[in-house]
Every structure is written in C-alpha cells, then in structure tokens.
C-alpha cells in the first residue's frame, strides 16, 4: 500500500530565521495524526509548504507517492489536500451555504470570484448536493440560510471545517481548529470532527495547542520545536516523553532544586 502523504527533509527559512529544519513526516490513508509544538515552532509554515502557499528551500512533498512540490495550490486541493485556517476569515453577511459553495469553487480554481460573489455564477446540482451533505454532517443544516455573523465562534469553526470538506479531501490539514473556543465548544468540535472523520474516512493532520483534543483525537503525534522534529510516535507515548514535556509544556523537573 502506498503511503497517502509524505514529506521528506523539508526546510524553510525566512530571511535568516530557520522555520523548518529537515522535517520528515508521513500520514497513512485515514490516519489521524497530530503535529504539536510551542508557538513559532513552524507548524503553520509546514502546512503552507504542503499546501503550496510557500515553496520549501529543500525537501519533497509527496501525495500517493508522487512529488506534488511543483503544483499550485488549487491543483493540490484537487488532488485531495484540504485545510482549515488558524484564523477564520468569513464574510459577515454571506450565508453559511454561500461560504461552502464559494470555497468549493475557489479551491478548485474554477469560476470567477467576483461573479460568484455577486451571485451570478449559480451553482450546479452536484455542488448543492455536496453542500447539503456537508451541512448535514456538521449539524449546520438548520443554519444554512443564516448569515455567518449570526453564528457563535464554535459554529463559525464548523463552517470553516465545512469549507474544507467541500473539496472532499483525502488529507485534511487542520490548523488550531479550537483556537478561541472554550472547553465546552472545543469538546463539541472534537465530537463533530470525530464523527465526520469516521463517516468520511479522510486522514487528518491536526495542529493544536489543546492537548486534550490532540490526545483524544489522534493516533500518532509529531512534535516540532524551533523547526526541528524532536519526537514522534503513538500519541500517548509522545505526550509522556520527558523532552516533549519540557519543550511543550515547560515542565520543570521535580526535585531539580532550581
Ligand atoms: N511569512 C513569514 N515571514 C517571516 N517569518 C515568518 C513567516 N511565517 C512564519 N515566520 C516565522 O517562522 C517561524 C515559525 O512560524 P509559524 O510556522 O507560524 O509557527 P507556528 O505555527 O508553529 O506557531 C516563526 O519564527 C515565525 O516568526
Ligand atoms: Mg501557527
């Protein structure tokens, strides 16, 4: 069986700042994998390299064993890579359904943004069917015609997930989906994510600061620290690793005397 996704030796610097150093990571079909690390560790930079928003200085990005490093963003999306953004960028007065339909077009690199924004593009039956399925799956069916400004932050996060699901990804890159949510909203999001992932079976690479969410959702986890991978393995083992606890949780050794 071919590995769904693999990155090997990815490096990226920004004018002298080494954001990623030799990062290698793989995700099998249907697998739930975590990518954690302190602020500034390079997690979002890694996502951007995978998505084609940034070009790595070195290293390869493979999907189905094929090098996709030369493909533009929308062609990677068409091959099955979806994403959610760390900061939600929703248009306040557009409805939930409009967001999903528009996202689908943009990510596929089809249609004209302006034409779609002014509602002249229309949507075909296939798009509407996929949209309704995603809304149903996320429990947003009743809110489909509501402007997103009427939603809670938690519901807004679900719209963001819904936008990514419209392109039927085989690999979903989720960047801090619980950002800004309280415990209860985070738990609700986690439950929905688990249900949707179980239903659709896509693989997830989850960047999260909420350790409970990572622990409950992922099977394996990678840990980035200042651009270096410092640990990887089954999530429970990684979370218990001393180096990880020091880098990520700032644990101080008990009895160290300082
Ligand atoms: N576009 C950019 N230009 C310059 N520096 C950047 C840019 N994007 C990220 N960085 C730097 O790269 C490092 C990693 O950032 P980032 O990938 O956003 O980390 P994380 O998502 O893990 O918090 C940080 O030092 C950040 O300041
Ligand atoms: Mg980030």
pLDDT in the model for residue 255: 42
DSSP string for 39-93: TTSSHHHHHHHHHTSS--SEEEEEETTEE-TTS-HHHHHHHTEEEE-SS----TT
Q: Where does ligand 1 bind, in terms of residues with CB under 6 Å?
A: 14, 17, 19, 37, 39-45
The ligand with the least distance to the CA atom of 39 is: 1
pLDDT in the model for residue 116: 54
User: Tokens representing 55?
Assistant: 């070009």
pLDDT in the model for residue 110: 58
Instruction: Map out the domains of the chain as residue ranges.
Output: 5-94+169-249
Residue ranges of the chain whose pLDDT lies below 70: 88, 107-123, 249-258
Q: Of 38, 35, 40, which Cα lies nearest the Cα of 5?
A: 35
Q: At 202, is the secondary structure helix, strand, or coil?
A: coil
With the most atoms of ligand 1 within 8 angstroms of its CB, the residue from 45, 49, 51, 174 to mutate is: 45
- What are the tens digits of pLDDT across the range 38-92? 999 999 999 999 999 999 999 999 999 999 999 999 899 989 999 987 776 777 7
Distance of CA 52 to the CA centre of its chain: 14
Q: Strand pairing of 58-63 and 5-14? A: antiparallel
Residue keyed to tokens 């015609």? 145
Q: Which atom of ligand 1 is nearest to the CA of 41?
A: 22
* C-alpha distance from residue 224 to each of 34, 171, 188, 200, 208 (Å): 11, 20, 27, 28, 12
The ligand with the least distance to the CA atom of 175 is: 2
pLDDT in the model for residue 251: 63
With the most atoms of ligand 1 within 8 angstroms of its CB, the residue from 25, 34, 35, 42 to mutate is: 42
Residue keyed to tokens 């936008």? 163
Question: Which residues does 24 contact at the CB level (< 8 Å), separation at least 6?
Answer: 6, 7, 8, 9, 10, 59, 229
With the most atoms of ligand 1 within 8 angstroms of its CB, the residue from 40, 209, 226 to mutate is: 40
**Contact call for residues 99 and 41 (beta carbons, < 8 A):** no
- State in Å: Cα 2 to ligand 1 middle: 31
The superfamily in CATH containing domain 5-94+169-249 is P-loop containing nucleotide triphosphate hydrolases (3.40.50.300)
What are the backbone dihedrals phi and psi of residue 152, each rounded to the nearest 5 degrees, phi first?
-75, 165
Question: Which residues does 64 contact at the CB level (< 8 Å), separation at least 6?
Answer: 2, 4, 79
pLDDT in the model for residue 258: 40
């Amino acid at each position: 069986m071919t590995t769904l996704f693999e990155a090997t030796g990815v490096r990226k610097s920004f004018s002298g700042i080494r954001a990623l150093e030799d990062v290698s990571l793989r995700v099998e079909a249907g697998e739930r994998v975590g990518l954690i690390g302190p602020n500034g560790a390079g997690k979002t930079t890694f996502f951007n390299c995978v998505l084609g928003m940034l070009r790595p200085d070195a290293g390869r990005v493979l999907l189905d064993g094929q090098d996709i490093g030369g493909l533009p963003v929308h062609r990677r999306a068409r091959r099955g890579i979806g994403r959610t953004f760390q900061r939600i960028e929703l248009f306040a007065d557009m409805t939930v359904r409009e967001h999903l339909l528009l996202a689908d077009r943009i990510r596929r690199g089809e249609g004209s943004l302006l034409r779609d924004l002014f509602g002249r593009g229309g949507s075909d039956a296939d798009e509407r069917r996929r949209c309704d399925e995603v809304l149903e799956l996320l429990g947003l069916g009743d809110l489909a015609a509501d402007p997103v400004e009427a939603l809670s932050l938690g519901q807004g996060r679900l719209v963001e997930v819904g936008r990514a699901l419209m392109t039927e990804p085989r690999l979903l890159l989720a960047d801090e989906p619980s950002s800004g949510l309280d415990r209860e909203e985070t738990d609700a999001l986690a439950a929905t994510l688990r249900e949707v992932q179980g239903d659709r079976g896509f693989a997830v690479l989850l960047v999260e600061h909420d350790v409970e969410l990572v622990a409950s959702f992922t099977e394996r986890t990678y840990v980035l620290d200042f651009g270096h991978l410092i640990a990887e393995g089954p999530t429970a083992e990684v979370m218990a690793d001393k180096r990880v606890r020091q880098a990520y949780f700032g644990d101080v050794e008990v009895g160290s005397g300082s």
